[in-house]
């Protein structure tokens, strides 16, 4: 996370008492440090000033930086006191630079992400040939535009910078836009639009990436205001060309989708809404890359379970048809009655077996694996016990104790295969019909497959 400190004056809307302080944005979040009392002193009914400290949450705080920029802070919370040394530190939910807002309502969000320019195919901002001087192209270019309900979704790129008589400095930018006709609370914008698009990039690229720059469009305004909040991360440069490496886990770029760019965005937002639970579990380790390996495995497996549950119409949730299950139950009940057990034991057994017609976990894994066509066939040919092994590993991770014979290294590789399968399956649902073939061509997938194939071979 970037470190930034903005010194200036701070006050409450409608209050002319401005106090000095600094807005600090760091790895610990956003805080406001003021040299004085942010809130005015209070008096009780007797006219006595109340001097005790209390926790307060202030909806809006206004600020003005030393260079005259207007700032609005949203959800400012902390311990407020009028006692010496008259210095207070408050947590800040959101900082909006550029305007004093009468209310924290917005109609649009603009976000930059690591690798977005390369993923979206943003053009160069200049042309150059040996026969002519370089030509700068700073104009904004629309790389994708579509509608999702009453929301306009877009990906745009361009250049920004400065120049004078002695120097020129421009940098390319690329942003995802979501603009609504309705007023939204700022968290709603992040959850509904920024996070789903973030998910798309991770599923496509198979790597963690940061949300590096955010701007919000206040209600009633035509201007975009830079925004800071705790989830926004560092703008440290990344090597965008890494996503093209032969060893990269990349499965999808905007120009390699089997549909128009403008169709991809709304289709993804529909799919993400449908598979929200599964995607949240699958991508959790990418949002927290410090996660331990067994936690990563648990997330991948639970994502598969959630996916199977969301696709009941396709896979079915019962192990046997109702008639076959009824016949099976009747046979077991008959055997119980012939065993002359006590009535309470017999009734307990009946209650258990009558309701248990759900698919075993290994069959649910197999359903999802086989639904990936040639990818699943290749996997099960190379590792026939894959489905059983991942269920054993899941039991060990979820319930403790034995790992079902899987070492930590083996569990890791089985988890990697699960991740490839789930990414392929989700991209297939998106309409990328050759997603499974793309996985099979990735060296990283074939290496992971070799690890579990060698483990299952007689000489392994």
d(CA 435, CA 431): 9
Beta strands in 137-262, from DSSP E residues, in sequence order: 141-148, 151-163, 168-185, 211-218, 225-228
Determine the average pLDDT of the residues in 107-122: 95
Helix (H, G, I), strand (E, B) or coil at 181: strand
pLDDT of residue 110: 97
What number is the average pLDDT over the span 428-454? 95
User: Quick one: average pLDDT of 216-224?
Assistant: 94
Burial annotation 51-88 (CB, 10 A radius, 16+ → b, else e): eeeeeeebebbbbbeeeeebbbbbbbebebbbeeeeeb
Closest CA to 4 of 262, 227, 334: 227
Please state the rounded mean pLDDT for residues 176-192: 94
The pLDDT value given to residue 460? 38
Q: Supply the pLDDT for residue 131.
A: 65
State what percent of residues in the chain have pLDDT above 90: 58
How far are the Cα atoms of 33, 197, 217, 411 from residue 122, in angstroms, in the given order? Answer: 40, 17, 23, 39
Whether 279 has a pLDDT exceeding 70, the answer reads: yes
Stronger pLDDT, 296 or 454, i.e. the higher one = 296
Give the number of other Cβ atoms within 10 Å of residue 425's Cβ.
24
* Alpha-carbon gap, residue 226 to 107, rounded angstroms: 14
pLDDT at 172: 87
So what's the pLDDT on residue 429?
Answer: 97
pLDDT in tens, 322-381: 666 566 666 776 776 667 777 776 667 666 666 655 688 899 999 999 999 999 999 999
pLDDT of 400: 58
Mean pLDDT of the chain: 86
Q: Does residue 130 have a pLDDT over 80?
A: no
Which pLDDT does position 15 carry in this prediction? 87
> For 66-106, what is the HEC assignment?
CCCCEEEEEEEEEEECCCCCCCEEEEEEEEEECCCCCCCEE
Q: Are 436 and 372 in contact (CB under 8 A)?
A: yes
* pLDDT mean over 175-183: 94
Q: Give the mean pLDDT of 149-157.
A: 95
pLDDT-derived band at 233 (thresholds 50, 70, 90) equals: low
User: How many residues in the chain?
Assistant: 460
> Do residues 208 and 289 lie in contact, with contact meaning Cβ atoms separated by under 8 Å?
yes
Which helix (H) or strand (E) segment holds residue 394: the answer is helix 386-399
CA–CA separation, 113 and 131 (whole Å): 36
**pLDDT digit string (tens) for 5-61?**
999 999 999 988 899 999 998 878 899 999 888 876 655 555 555 555 677 889 999
Enter the pTM of the model.
0.86
How high is the pLDDT of residue 459?
42
Counting residues of the chain whose pLDDT is more than 70, the rounded percentage is 82
CA gap 291, 13 in Å, rounded: 43
Spatial distance between the Cα atoms of 102 and 73, rounded to a whole number of angstroms: 11
**Is the predicted pLDDT of residue 87 greater than 90, yes or no?**
no
């Amino acid at each position: 996370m970037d470190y930034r400190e903005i010194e200036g004056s701070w006050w409450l809307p409608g209050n002319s008492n401005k106090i000095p302080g600094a807005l600090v944005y760091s790895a610990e979040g956003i805080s406001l440090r003021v040299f004085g009392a942010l809130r005015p002193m209070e008096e009780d009914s007797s006219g006595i000033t109340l001097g005790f400290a209390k926790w307060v949450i202030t909806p809006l705080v206004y600020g003005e930086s030393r260079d005259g920029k207007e700032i609005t802070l949203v959800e400012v919370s902390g311990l407020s006191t009028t006692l010496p040394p008259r210095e207070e530190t408050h947590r800040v939910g959101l900082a909006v630079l550029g305007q004093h807002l009468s209310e924290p309502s917005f109609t649009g969000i603009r976000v930059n992400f690591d690798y977005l320019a390369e993923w979206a195919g943003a053009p160069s901002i200049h042309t150059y040939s040996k026969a002519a001087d370089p030509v700068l192209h700073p104009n904004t270019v629309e790389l994708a535009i579509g509608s999702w309900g009453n929301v306009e979704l877009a990906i745009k790129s361009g250049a920004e910078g400065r120049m004078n008589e002695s120097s020129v400095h421009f940098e390319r930018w690329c942003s995802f836009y979501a603009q609504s006709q309705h007023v939204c609370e700022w968290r709603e914008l992040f959850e509904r639009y920024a996070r789903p698009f973030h998910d798309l990039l991770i599923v496509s690229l198979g790597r963690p990436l940061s949300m590096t720059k955010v701007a919000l469009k206040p209600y009633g305004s035509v201007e975009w205001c830079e925004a800071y909040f705790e989830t926004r991360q560092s703008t440290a440069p990344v090597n965008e060309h890494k996503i093209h490496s032969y060893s990269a886990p990349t499965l999808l770029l905007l120009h390699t989708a089997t549909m128009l760019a403008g169709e991809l965005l709304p289709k993804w937002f529909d799919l993400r809404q449908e598979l929200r639970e599964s995607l949240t579990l699958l991508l959790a380790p990418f949002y927290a890359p410090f996660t331990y390996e067994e936690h990563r495995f648990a997330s991948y497996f639970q994502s598969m379970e959630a996916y199977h549950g969301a696709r009941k119409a396709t896979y079915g949730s019962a192990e046997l048809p109702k008639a076959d299950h009824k016949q099976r139950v009747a046979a077991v009940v008959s055997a119980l009655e012939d065993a002359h057990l006590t009535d309470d034991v017999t009734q307990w057994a009946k209650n258990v077996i009558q309701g248990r017609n759900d698919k075993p976990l290994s069959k649910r894994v197999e359903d999802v694996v086989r639904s990936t066509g040639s990818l699943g066939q290749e996997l099960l040919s190379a590792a026939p016990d894959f489905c059983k092994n991942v269920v054993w590993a899941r039991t060990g991770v979820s319930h403790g104790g034995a790992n079902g014979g899987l070492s930590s290294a083996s569990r890791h590789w089985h988890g990697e295969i699960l991740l490839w399968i789930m990414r392929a399956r989700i991209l297939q649902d998106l309409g990328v019909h050759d997603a499974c073939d793309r996985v099979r061509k990735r060296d990283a997938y074939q290496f992971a497959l070799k690890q579990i194939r060698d483990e299952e071979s007689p000489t392994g």
